[in-house]
Structures are given as structure tokens and as C-alpha cells.
Structure 1
């Protein structure tokens, strides 16, 4: 090793060439490294989405989800399976073990589901896919004095234009429900025209279609036979013929039903930005896309868009690159501060030229790390930036040790070349050991499994690679620069140098030397002192004087408020209460503005959905550097101003965190009643803890039910449960007749009762059940009664209605 060091010192052009190559290739490597918020990792999650329209959570659980889980239990490579069953749909999440490939397990999961043949007949095909690791790049809202339909049209145009930009692939829209065509009937009209839902559905299905009938093969050309009678809008379905009367009159769909294009009644999704109806456009970046490139292109696009549009304006809600840019600025500032401190203090005690060469080692080491990073698929993210901030101090320390050793050898009277060789070799083993120890310590992060291991291994890679190049730079490049620097030239010391030299000598002789002598003469006492200090430190941890946390609280610039009302609550009631909280937030902002002279709340995004009883607020605050009030103080003020929300099952005021909630407890069990009891007991105990707030659970309560069962003699009329519930479902839930493709939107055509005929218990009781022979019976028939165990003609059904009304709600 000594010969290599000597060669680089004697021939400095070699070291300079190596430095230039590292800086040059490091620059190109940096240009090829993508920027993301979190480290790029392979997705270890497989998602299974199932839709069974009109089903209850119990039906989803028993008929679909349980069967999927049972078939997946025997597969190797699966770490954990979790599922959620809700109204009309269910989802199963499969977590893949860390040492298995997700794509292989995905194929095994698909094969397992293909073997299930007992899914309910009305279930839509299951959607199975590997969930991508996507990060938010930027989101913005489109709003203006137009209706929601027009806003959606503008948003679709924006979506298409953004996707045409190179480097942007994931663009999604939110804030509006799906579109549908509703064909609604009144019960009186069905009776008047002697029609059934099945007849109407069949007529639409057989008339509104596009079908090929073959070809006519002529001598000169072939002619395609086609029927193009498929329409895509409600007004074009009006003339469909349902039946002909004995008098020869055609009964058209418009004679009996109301046909209209509308937003899906089952989807209450709405978004408001600062109380204005809005459509949210979200742009995400994949692991192969650069977040800075995306946000820059989107901002350029929005600037032009707002300049060219007067009706609809775009407002940026959140920029995912801001936090990353702040970390980069912090890194640059730390690097500059570190370099300045090195230059100043080394200049005071040694020579300013030594300090400059030590400071230059920082960018050289980082550029070397970027060379390796570009080959290993590294990305610039908050974790890798943290590793770079962490390693700066180590880089400076190693350079200072080597530079000081060389300077010390020079002061002994050696020539610059020999001083550089001897000074480097004197401390190189110690520097190598220190770097090796740090490398070994950080390499342990590679043995952590799961998502946490993926995150910390990214930081370890940065630290290890930077330290490797710091060893190369410190052993080969730095000594060559110092040996040929004017720092190793004899000259008269300046007044500042004499002062600092005298100060160091005084500190060494007056303070350090006596303490060192005392420690060497009283070894036992010295050891006891340090053991006592260690025990005191442990006591501070145990006594709570020094508090611990896995991840420290980081002041954020956004708040989230979410409420969940009792299942079945109408969207207008839920919307009323979330708007009440929004009004309270703006009132808090007014009070804070009076006190501090500026707005603390910049914008509020109000979201309704995904169910009629769920809603949330995303509150964007003034930047932390400009905001004199802490985010949790604003959150508590809004909570106090809004007060209690009557009947709400869950209300939470959260400060966003990438690491989830402060406390999260999972309860596992096979008996749902026992789980519910344990959940309530745990919530009650946790609510008593003053340090906790917003104790909520993720258990979704289903809608209240009306149970329908047949009486024993109903079979005399030829009725079965399927006959009864089939007609009830057609009228109240609806029958999906068709799916029409309008551009990229899939529009469902529904046939059902008009809303005024399916909004109360009396509507259900007065519904007519139609038999195959044409006879009709009220669902709740009171013409005959059960008396003395004699069952007469028309007592068909029993209704078991439990708690159908909420106190205080209409």
C-alpha cells in the first residue's frame, strides 16, 4: 500500500486525473439517477378486487372472500392475507414473502382463483393485479362557475394532454361519481300497461345493440351485414318499443318510464376546494419516473392552462417534490456549513490551503457514490438524502485526520513528499479501521426483512459507497494535493496563527494534561465515573426524563379531518356535518389572522365518499418556515371550534405522517361477537388515557336490514325466495341491463323503480309481486289473516324490521 501512496504523491497528475474522472463520471451518474419520494422497491402486494352488486358484507364474506382465502392458504411464498368485505364489493390483499418474486406468486394466485367454481352467479369477474408502488408527484383541482359535468369534460381533456407529455404515465381523476343511465318506472304505470321489469330489461337489451349478420359475397365485393341500432345516451333510448297493445298501439319506453343520464346513485363522491365544486387531478410517479421532471412539466402545463382558460382554473393542492426539495436544500446547506467550518478551523490551527483540500473531498466522495448508484438503480429520495447528511461529518473527520498527520510530519522537518507519505501511512490503518467499522455497522441494515429493510438498506448503500470513496480519496488524492500545496511551505506565522497556536498549547497544558494525568493515576475511579454516568443515562430513559420514539414527530403543513356517520346516513346529512367542520376551520383561520396578520390555512379540500356516511377534509397550512403556529395547535383549535358531532361514529383530526398512526392495535379472532366486545373494551380503556386522542376503529358497520322470509304455505302459490327477492331487487336495487362505452367511461344502464316509489317502508309493503300466471299480490297483503292455525290465501311474507330510524334524522 505504501508504494501506491508514494506513487500518487510523487506523480500528482495521477491523483488529479483520478479526481477529474470521479467528478466527471459522477456528474453523468447523477444526471441518470431518478428522484422519488421514497426508495424504489419491488411491490410485495397482490390485490384481488371483487364486485357483487346488491350484496351485503356477509354475502361478500361467506360467498366470495372466505373461498378466496381458503384457496390461497396452501400457497408458498405468501406472508400474510388480509381482506375487507363491504356493501357490493370486497378486497383481498396478499403480502408476498421477501425472498419470493411477486410475479410468480401473482400467477399462482390467479391459478388458485381459476379453480373456484362456486362463486355467486351475479358476481363480476375478479380483478387480480400486482399493486404498483406509486408516489404522489403532484395533485391539483379544476374549479369554476360551471356544473360538475362540464368540469369533468375539462378534466378529461387535461388528463389526455398530461398523458401525452413524455415521462408522465399515471394520471387519475377524482371528485365525481360514475355516470349511468337510469330507466325508472312507477308502480302504477307498470300495472296500467301490464309490464314487468324483466320485460322492460329484455326489450332494451334486444333493441339497443350493434350486431353483425354475416356477409353478402358479391362478384366484385363483399358487403358486411350489420344492425347499428346501439345508442349511448338516455334521450336516444326513448323510442324503444316495449310491447304492442291489442289495438295495435306501440308502447314505447318513454310512455312508461323516465329515462335520464345521471351520476351513479350508489356513488356519492364529490370534492370541493375552498367551498367550490372541483375535480381533482392526481399525477403519480412510478419507480421508473422522476418526480422533479413530472412536477416541473405539470407546473409548466398549468401555467399555460390558466393563462388560456377563463372559465375553469387549476389550483395546485399538493406538490410531492416540495418535501424532497427541502431535504436536498438541507443537504446542500449542511455541506456548505461543513465545508466552511472545516476551512475556518483548519485555517486557524493549521493552514487554510489544507482546509480547502479537505473540503474538496466532500463533493469528490459524493460523486464517486453517484457513479455506483447509477449502476445499482439508486434514486434520490428522503432516505438516501438522510444517509448523505449523516455521512458528511464522517467524511470531514477522516480528511482532517490525514491532513493533520501530514502537517505534523512536515513540522518535524521532513520534505513535503516524505511528510505526505509518512503522515498518510501513520494514520491510514486507523482511518481504514474506522471506515471499516462504520461500513460493517451500516451493512447490518441489509439483513432487515420487509419494507423497513428496503428503506434502511437504501440509506446504508449511500453511506457505505461514500465511505469507500472517502478511503480512496483520503489515501490517494488528498495526500498528493497537500504535498504539492503551498500549505507545506515554510513561512512566518501570522498573528492569528500565533494566537490560535498559543490557545491550543494553553488548553493542552493547562486543562487536558492535568485531567489526563489524574485519570492515569486513578484508573479505578475514572472507570467508576463513566459507569456511573452510563447508569444515570439508563435511569433517565427508564424514568421518562429522556423520551423515546421510533420516528420523531415532524411538523407538517397539512391536516386531515375525517368523520364516519352511522351506516345508511344520507349523503346530505354527512355533507352538512363535514361542512360544519370546514366552516369551523375557516373561523379558526380568521382568529389566527387577526392575531398574527396572515392566513394560517391556505386551502381546504372537502371530500364526500366513498360511502354516503364518510367524508373528510384535507387542510393545507401555510409553510412551516412562515407559520408561527404549530400544526397540532391549529388542529386542536378546529376540534374545539367544531365541537361534538352528534351521532358520529368516528371523528379524527390527524396530522399527516408517512409512518401511520402513533398507536395501532390489531385484534384477531374467529368469533365476530367476541371481537366486537374486545374492540369496545379496548377502545374504552384507551379513551381513558389522556395522552391519546381520536381513538377509532376500522371496523365497518353494515347497513340496517329488513329480513324477508316466506311463510310455510307460500309454496302453494308456486313462490320461492328467489322469485320474491328477484322482483324486489329489480325494483329497489335495480337491474343492470347494459354497459355502454362512452370514450374511456363505462356507463351502466339500470332499470328500477322511480325514487319516489322506493324511498320508504310503505313503498316496499305496497309493491306488487307478479306470478307467472299474471296474478299480482301485495308484498304485505292484509286481505286475509292467520287465525286458529288456518292459513288463508294471501299471507305470504313476514317482515322483520329492526331499528329503521335514526333519532333526530328524517
Structure 2
């Protein structure tokens, strides 16, 4: 290290060359980095999708889901799997354990699916794929007055085609219209009059509408292909299909026995924007695309579209690029203010030239980090930007310690070059250990499981990379800069400002700190009792609810989603009526909310309504005024709209709020294969949760289905040679329909459905009178062949790891309330009597926010002890004393006091983000502690008496510790005190670091010297107990022993 420092001092041109290279390549790397909203991570989700037209959820469960789930059991790398059996479709989601290669697990899952012996014959091929990470970019609607849905769809298709061809837009999804289809609806009376069966007519359609190649005529000079082109693509082209032709010339055309029409499918998927029919255009980006230019292109396209169209209008619903730019600008502005505060404080309390060189390390470190970040695929996102703010204050710590120590050597009369070399080398062990412990502390984020680990891995990379670049800059470049700087002679007269700042620092050190340290070193138990007492009061305040505690902090949103679920079988018109009612009440609430807002603009900007995916489900997406322009939190707006809407007596589920990446704050899964017990347990749990005052919108995912007709074969049917499959097959063709063909019409795949006319399938009576053909060709009414039972069916069946699951979830009326306390109450008081009553039911909290919290805690219990042990190992190598290392542990524990009361002062609950901030705090505490203990050991080696060595170590390192504290706090202060809603989810972590280090300064400057003194007493006690000899304080100190050993054995140095 000495040689490297001397080299760069001797050849400053090398320093400037390397710095220029870092600045150049760092700037280039920054502009090549993609911008995303959240960090980019590899997908760890595998989807299995199956379509079985006309099948009930029970058929899907028994015929598809259970077979696949049985084969998935024991698959390596699978964390868990969930499934939904719905009408016509099956969906299984497989989550991959962190650390496993998703592509390898995907192959294992495919093998498990392929090894299922048999699936239903009418099922479409199963699709198994790794779910692609798609990032929401922007969505907008296209709407117009008096424009039909088909025209809107055609316009939207043109928009989609334009954006794909002209812009860098790869993922576009259109919503707001059902699939197109051609319906051939047979008239039952016409079929009878012509003596044609349903099956004969359907076969005629399938066999006539074809393009067929008949071979090739190979002549001497050319080859001529033989083709029959009779394929029709629209309803008008199908009407003249010949169903039957007799020898006497009688022809029955399709139009004679059926109505043929182009139409939208029955499944609803309709959207309205501010009361007008609309089609939604959703634009997403992949992980390798930049969100900002994509959104900019789309906004430009919308402007051109609106300028060139009068009858239709494109309106932006949500634009994540705006939110991202706001947060980016917010974080950058706070970061710039933090850097300026750091520079201001450094220049006041440190020599102005030293302050400049220390501050220069900030851009060098950041630009060096950008080179590494671009290489490793890190993006510019809200988490990585926050990491830059966190590291600003920490970044200059090593520079302050090094430059301050160099200056102390210079003040002692040494030359500037010698001071640069010796001053740097003296603090190398402490600074290196401090940076390494901080790096180790932040590296724990890489091993945290769940979404939090995915999110904060970027933050850890930013901090670690920046600190490592800063370390190299501090050890090699900073001494060279200072060595070639014209510093004033220690004897030279200082400026008035320098004298003022020196007087302030001396007053803080000599008049305030030094007497306090003398007092506490004399009355050590008072100091210890004081900090222990504060910690106990803090724990009591948390347990008593004075300081809040929750899993995740409230994250401000710019939209509110109202989700409505009516009883299964409810007609689309009824669902639409209630969605209109919700919109009306929301607009009424908007009037009162706008009057309370600091801005005169409406709180509600747009309202988007959607019916679907079934006739009885829908949602209202309420788009709010930008959070920077309103003084009312979205949680308060949500409560106001909830109160205005009130209850909808027919609704099965009605919830208000916004989905988050971490799920609902309160979520309980009930698991059992005993369906009756499961249903009863669910009802009782919902009733109990509804009585908890702080909970709102208690919902479940178990929906009662529409009424169903269950058919049972009569003996007559079997005597006639009919099987249940024969009967249900004919019923299915008539009422559900028979898919005769699929046609490719532009970008749409259009299915041709053959079924009875709607007028012939509107009642149970018509079902009873449906003619069923026997193998001999005779026809009998269905009522003569089967018994009829009418029961309620099931909408969907949910599984969790192969067991039936019903999930009960709820939101908090106040997002700052303690979710853990509510969950503990449910777990300890609400559930036990329910589970005792229904012994086959099991409850799990491995869902929602609690699951993410549990995953973080579980991985943390494994990771944090290892990380903490590695940190202590590094410190032990530096101190060469296990007991001295142990003195740092109480500092880390007691620093929680500052963290907790910092949250109390800012009216914030402690959350997982707060505890992740404590990890960052540990590195800073260790940094300051190493500096002080390192100086104490140096004082002991130089022959000071123990009491003076402890006292002087505090005094001599006061400036460095004080400066590292105020620069760290100053770097985070703009973010902590920023009232912007956009910054609030980052504030808990910033509070933990800032208030924790502020309190830890008192711990380092007071409790650490006291601990060293108490440790010395303990050492002397052990020595006396072992040898029966009393010794001086200095004799038992490791530093003194090491120094004597070096003198006695110089060859070991």
C-alpha cells in the first residue's frame, strides 16, 4: 500500500488520466443504462394454461388440475404452486425457488405435464411457459360518441399496427371488446321441416368451407396445381353453403335453416372511459427496453392521432413514465441538495482545499459505479436512485477520516508528502475494515428472499460498487491530491471564517463533549444505565402502540380500483348498472374532496369502467390528480369514495383500493379437502373479521356459481343404446355450440360456432324438449331420457399446493395501522375456536403481505447471523481482540432507540423498510467505532496511560466522527423532510439511517469509551482471578501487548 500511495504522489499525471477515464466511460455508461420503474429481475414464475371449452370447474379440477398437481409434487426447485379451475379453462402458477435456474425448472415442469397419462379428448393443447417480465409503461383509451364497438376495434387495430411498425413498441395489448366469432344458429323448426339433424347440418358447414390442394399436374413445360378455394371468411359468404342436395334437384342452403351473423362472443369485456364506450390500449416494455423513450413515443403518437381524428379521441389513463420521472427528479433533486449540504458542511468544518478533494470523490465514485452497473445490467429505477442517496453521506466518510488524519500529521510539523503517506497508512486498517463491514452489511440484501430481496438487490449493488470505487479513490487518489495541494502552514494566520468554524468545532469538542466524556468515564454505570433505560422505554413504546409497527409502509398511489363481484349468473346489464352507480357516487365525492385540496383542479381526473371477464364481474378504475398537486392521500380519497358508495346489497364482494406488489395487508388461507367444513369455516372467519373495526373490504375468492341443471340418465336411454356421453354431447352442441372451424381474419382468429338459435335455448322447457338422436336415427325429447336436478354450481376452484383453498383478505381503514398486531389477533383469538370446530381445516398466513414478510424474516434469520458474524470477524482482525470487537455489539443494539423515535417524530410506523435501513446503519456505526477504537489502540502503543488514551481517543476522533454523522444526516435530510407523496415509501429507510447514526454518534463518543473502560476492568478482574496478581490498567490491553511483542520480536513485524 505504501508503494502504491507513493507512486501516485510521484506521478500525479497517472491519477488525472485514470480519473478522466472514469469520468468519460462513466458518463457513457450512464447514458447507455435503461430506465425502468422497478429493478429488473429474472422471472421465477412458470405458467401452465389449458382450455377445455364447455367444461365446468369440477371437470377442469378432476380432469386436468389434479393430474398435473400430482405430477408436480416433489419437482426440484418449486417453491409452491397455485391453481384456478374455472369454466372452460385451467391455470396453474408455479413459483421457482430463488437460486434455481428457471429454465431448468421449466423443463422439469414440462416433463411433469407431459407424463400425465390422459387428458379430456376435447381439451386444447396445454401451454407451459416461463412468464415474461413485462413492465407497465402507459395505457390509453380510444373512445367516441355514437361509434360502435367494431369500428373502435378496427381503429385500435390500426393504432396497434402503426405503433409496432413505426415505434420501438414490442408489447401492445388491446382490451375492451370480446373476441369476434361467426355464429351459425340453427332454427329447430326449420331443421325438423327439412328432416335434417343438427349433426348433419354442422358437418356440412365443416366440410364445405375449405381450401384444399388436390395435387399437381406435371406437364412437359410446367407444373399446374389443383386447388379448390371455397373458404368463406364472413357471415355473408357462408349463407350459400349447401347443406343437402337431392337427386330431384332440391337444394337446402345454410340460410334456409340458420341465421348466420358476425358478432362478438358472449363473454363480456367492455370498457367505458368517462361514460363513453372505449377500447383500451396497454403498452408494456420488456426488461431490455427503456421505459422513457417508449412512453415519449406513445405520447407523441397520441397527440398526432387526436389532431387527425375528430370523431374519436385518445386519452391517457396512466403513464408510469410520468411517475418515474417525478420520482427520479425528486430523488435527484434531493440527492443534489444532499451533496450540496455535504459540501457546505465539509467546507465549514474542514480545510476548504481538503473539502474540495474529499467532495471530488463523490462524482468519481458514482461514475465508476455506473461503469460496473451498466456491465451487470442494473437499470436506473426508483430503488437504485434511492441507493445513490443513501450512499452520498456514507461516501465521504472514508475521505473525511483520511484527509482529517493527513491534516493532523501536517499540523504536527511534517511535510505534506510525508503527512499524506503516513496519515493514510495510519488509518488504512480502520477505513478498510469500515468499508468492508459496510459492504458485508449491504450484501445481505442479495440473499433476502421474496420481492424485497429482488427490489433491494439493486440498492445493495449501487452502494457496494460506489463504496469500493470510493475506497480505491480514497487510498490512492486522495493522498496524491492533498500532497500536491498548497495548504496553509499550521502557523499561518487563518481567515476569519476559518477561525469562526474552528472555534465552533473547539467549543463542541472542548466545552461540550470533553467534560461530558470525563463525567461519564467517572460514573460509567450512569452512562450504561441511561442507554439501557432508553432502550427499554423504546421497546415498551412499541409494545404499547405508541410507536407503530407494520409490514410494509403505505405507498401513495395515483389511482383507486373498485372491484365488484355480483352473484354468479347476474346479467351484464345489472352489473353495468351498479358500475354506473359507483361512478356517480365517486363523482359526488370528488366535489367535496376538490374543495379540501390545495389545488383547484378536480381530485378525480378520469374514470374507466370495465365489465368482465364474466357478466357478473367488473371494476371501476378511478384516476386521481397527480400526487404532487394534491394534499389528500389516496387512502383518504378511498375512504371517502367507500363511504359515498356505501354497501351494494346484492354484491358478493366489493372492495376499494389499489393492488400492490406485496398483496393485501391481511390475508388468510383456509385449506381442506372437506368442502363443507371449508365453506363453514370461511363464513365464520369472514364474519369475525368484519367485526374488527380497523378492517375494511373483507372479501374471499370463493364465489357461489350460477344455477346448474344436472342430468342423470334414465333406464330408457340406455335401452335405446345411448350413453351419457352421447346425450351430453348432443346437448352441448345444441346449447353451448360446436366449433366447426377457425378462420384467420387479419390479426384475429375467428371461431365459427354452430348451435341452436337463441330463441330455442332460453328456457329449461326447451332443454327438456330437445330432440336426442339414437344410434338408429330415431329422436326422443330429453325429458324422456334423463332426470333433471337444479343446483348451484361453482365459479372457480382454487388450490394451494394441491389442496383446496379459500382465501379471506381485507384492507386496513388506516394504512398506518399495525398489520402484525391484527394478524396476531386473528391467529391467537379468532382462528383457534373456528379450527377447533372444523378440525379438517388448516389455516395458513403464507399469502399477501404476510407471506412476503415471512419470507424476508425466514431468509433474514439465516443470512443476518452469518453477515453479522463476518462483520465481527473483519473487526476482530483489525482490533486483534475479540473482547474489543464485542464492545461494538451494544452500540448496534442501542442504535435502534434512535431509529424507533425517529419514526415516532415523523409519525411513521416501523416497517420492513425500516429494518432494512438498520442494515445500512450498521456499516456506518462500525465505521465510526473503528476510527475511535483504532485511535485508542494507537494511543496505547504510544505509551499513554489508559484513562488518558480513552479520553484522548474520543477528543482526537471527535471531528472525524462528527463530520461523518452530519454529512450522512445531511445527505438524507432533504428526502426525510420532503412532503411529496412520491417519496414516502422511501422515507422509513432514510429515517432509520439518519436518526440511527445521529443517536449512534452519542453511543460511539460516550458509550464506546465507557465500554472500553469497563472492558479493562473485566480484563484486570480475570487476570487477578487467574494469577492472583493486581496489575496496572495498561498491562492487560491487547495493543500494549502487541507493541511489546513487536519490540521483543522485530522479525515478526
Stretch moving more, 494-503 or 139-148:
494-503
Deviation by residue 1:762-784 (Cα, 9 ceiling, x = unmatched):
2222323333545433333xxxx
Aligned to 1:655: 658
The answer to whether structure 1 residue 583 and structure 2 residue 572 are counterparts is no
- Partner residue, 1:271: 271
Q: Which residue of 2 aligns with 1:110?
A: 110
Q: State whether structure 2 residue 469 is matched by structure 1 residue 469.
A: yes
Shift of 1:230: 0.1
CA distance in 2, matches of 1:130, 1:241: 46
| Cα distance, 1:471 vs structure 2 | 0.6
Question: Is the partner of 2:9 in helix, strand or coil?
Answer: helix
- Which has the higher mean CA deviation after the structures are superposed, 239-248 or 203-212? 239-248
Query: Could you say which residue in structure 1 is the equivalent of 2:606?
Result: 603
Kindly provide the CA deviation profile for residues 633-687 of structure 1, in whole angstroms up to 9, marking residues without a partner as x. Answer: 1111111111211211110001342322112222222222222222222222222
Counterpart residue number, 1:783:
none
Post-superposition offset of 1:619: 1.3
- Flag the structure with higher helix content: 2
In structure 2, stretches of 5+ residues that fail to align are 794-1053
Which of residues 611, 616, 621 is equivalent to 1:613? 616
Residues 172, 252 of structure 1: CA spacing in aligned structure 2 closer, same or farther, 3 A cutoff?
same
- SS of match in other structure, 1:455: helix
Alpha-carbon spacing, 1:450–1:655, altered in 2? closer, same or farther (3 Å): closer
Aligned to 1:592: 593
Contact 1:352 1:487 in 2 (8 A): no
Query: Measured at CA, do residues 449 and 629 of structure 1 come closer, stay the same or move farther in structure 2, by a change above 3 Å?
Result: closer
Deviations 1:140-160 (A, max 9, x none): 212223221111111112212
Query: Counterpart of 1:184?
Result: 185
1:370-425: per-residue Cα shift (whole Å, max 9, x none)? Answer: 11112222222232222222111101333333333333333334443333333333
Q: What is the rounded CA distance, in whole Å, between the counterparts of 1:87 and 1:717 in structure 2?
A: 31
For residues 685-725 of structure 1, the C-alpha deviation after alignment (integer angstroms, 9 at most, x for no partner) is 22221121111112343332111112223323333322322
Q: Is 1:8 aligned to 2:8, yes or no?
A: yes
Q: Which has the larger displacement, 642-651 or 160-169?
A: 160-169
User: How far apart in 2 are the matches of 1:657 and 1:95?
Assistant: 18
1:710-767 superposed Cα distances (whole Å, 9 cap, x missing partner): 2223323333322322221111111111100112211001111222222222222232
- Residue matched to 2:667: 664
Give 1:295 shift: 1.5
1:200-223 C-alpha deviation (Å, 9 max, x unpaired): 111111110000110111111111
- Per-residue deviation, 1:13: 2.1
Aligned length, in residue pairs: 789
CA contact (8 A) 1:559 1:655 kept: yes
Aligned to 1:786: none
Counterpart CA distance in 2 for 1:469 and 1:288 is: 26
For structure 1, which segment, 410-419 or 633-642, has the greater mean C-alpha deviation from structure 2 after superposition? 410-419
Indicate the residue corresponding to 2:169 in structure 1: 168
Task: Give the distance between the partners of 2:409 and 2:326, measured in 1 at CA.
Answer: 43
Match of 1:336 in 2: 336
**Residue 221 of structure 1 aligns with which residue?**
222
Task: Name the residue aligned to 1:791.
Answer: none
Q: For the residues of structure 2 that align with 1:353 and 1:295, how far apart are their CA atoms? A: 45
TM-superposed CA distance for 1:622, in Å, is 0.8
Matched, 1:90 2:90: yes
Does structure 1 residue 195 correspond to structure 2 residue 196?
yes
Q: Retained in 1: the 8 A contact 2:339–2:392?
A: no
Give unpaired runs (5+ residues) of structure 1.
781-794, 805-810
Q: What residue is the counterpart of 2:501 in the other structure? A: 500
> Residue 135 of structure 2 aligns with which residue?
135
> How far apart are the structure 2 equivalents of 1:7 and 1:643?
76
Structure-to-structure mapping, 1:385-400, within 5 angstroms: 385-400=385-400
Where does 1:498-537 land on structure 2 (aligned, <5 Å)?
A: 498-537=499-538
Residue 665 of structure 2: SS of its match in structure 1? coil
Partner of 1:281: 281
Deviations 1:226-275 (A, max 9, x none): 0000010000000011123686321111112111000011x200111111
What CA deviation, in whole Å up to 9, does each residue of 1:455-486 have, x standing for no partner? 33222211111110111122222233333335
The CA distance in 2 between the partners of 1:797 and 1:655, in whole Å, is 49
Q: Which range is displaced more, 678-687 or 346-355? A: 346-355
Query: TM (normalized to structure 2)?
Result: 0.72
Q: What is the rounded CA distance, in whole Å, between the counterparts of 1:143 and 1:412 in structure 2?
A: 79
Structure 1 length normalisation: TM-score?
0.93
Partner of 1:561: 562
Q: 1:507 to 1:94 in 2, by over 3 A?
A: closer
Alignment partner of 1:763 out of 753, 761, 766:
766
| Aligned equivalent of 1:800, options 784, 789, 793 | 789
1:381 aligns with 2:381: yes
Q: 1: CA distance between counterparts of 2:257 and 2:594?
A: 59
What residue in structure 2 maps to residue 808 of structure 1?
none
Tell me: CA distance 1:604–1:505, structure 2 relative to 1, closer, same or farther (3 Å): same
CA contact (8 A) 2:359 2:396 kept: yes
Residues 175, 221 of structure 1: alpha-carbon distance in 2 compared, 3 angstrom cutoff: same
The answer to whether residue 410 in structure 2 is matched with residue 410 in structure 1 is: yes
SS at match of 2:707: coil
CA contact (8 A) 1:9 1:480 kept: yes
Distance in 2, Cα, partners of 1:730 & 1:528: 83
> How many angstroms apart in 2 are the aligned matches of 1:665 and 1:646?
24
Distance in 2 between residues matched to 1:577 and 1:349, nearest whole Å? 66
| Aligned residue number for residue 307 of structure 1 | 307
> Please, which moves more after superposition, 172-181 or 636-645?
636-645
Query: Aligned with 1:296: secondary structure?
Result: helix
Deviations 1:52-75 (A, max 9, x none): 111100000001111111222243
In 1, Cα distance between the equivalents of 2:758 and 2:480?
86
Contact 1:416/1:488 (<8 A) preserved: no
> Is residue 79 from structure 1 mapped to residue 79 from structure 2 by the alignment?
yes
How big is each residue's C-alpha offset from its partner over 1:11-53, in whole Å with a ceiling of 9 and x where there is no partner?
3222222211111111122223222222222222211111111
Tell me the residue number matched to 1:235: 236
Indicate yes or no: 2:718 matched with 1:712.
no
1:739-750 aligned within 5 A? 739-750=742-753
Is 1:260 equivalent to 2:261 in the alignment? yes
Mapped to 2, the partners of 1:74 and 1:525 lie a distance apart of 59
Contact 1:343–1:352 (CA under 8 A) maintained in structure 2: no
* Residue pair 2:167, 2:297 contacting (<8 A) in 1 also: no
User: 1:564 touches 1:651 (CA, 8 Å); kept in 2?
Assistant: yes
Q: Which residue of 2 aligns with 1:574?
A: 575
Give runs of aligned pairs for residues 32-43 of structure 1, distance below 5 A. Answer: 32-43=32-43
Match in the other structure for 1:777: 780
C-alpha spacing 1:464/1:231, structure 2 compared with 1 (3 Å):
same
Residue of 732, 735, 747 corresponding to 1:732: 735
Mark the CA change 1:40 to 1:736 in structure 2 (over 3 Å): closer, same or farther: same
CA displacement, residues 576-625 of structure 1 (integer Å, 9 cap, x when unaligned)? 11121011111211233345432001111111111111101111111111
Partner in structure 2 of residue 58 of structure 1 = 58
1:198–1:552 Cα change, 3 Å: same
Aligned to 1:784: none
For residue 255 of structure 2, give the secondary structure of its aligned residue in structure 1.
helix
Residue 21 of structure 2 is aligned to residue 21 of structure 1: yes
Task: Please tell me whether the aligned partners of residues 142 and 313 of structure 1 are also in contact (alpha carbons under 8 angstroms).
Answer: yes
* 1:650–1:696 contact (8 Å) kept in structure 2: yes
What's the secondary structure of 1:230's corresponding residue? coil
Of the three residues 668, 673, 679, the one matched with 2:682 is 679
**Could you tell me how far apart the structure 2 residues matched to 1:574 and 1:286 are?**
35
> Equivalent residue for 1:807?
none
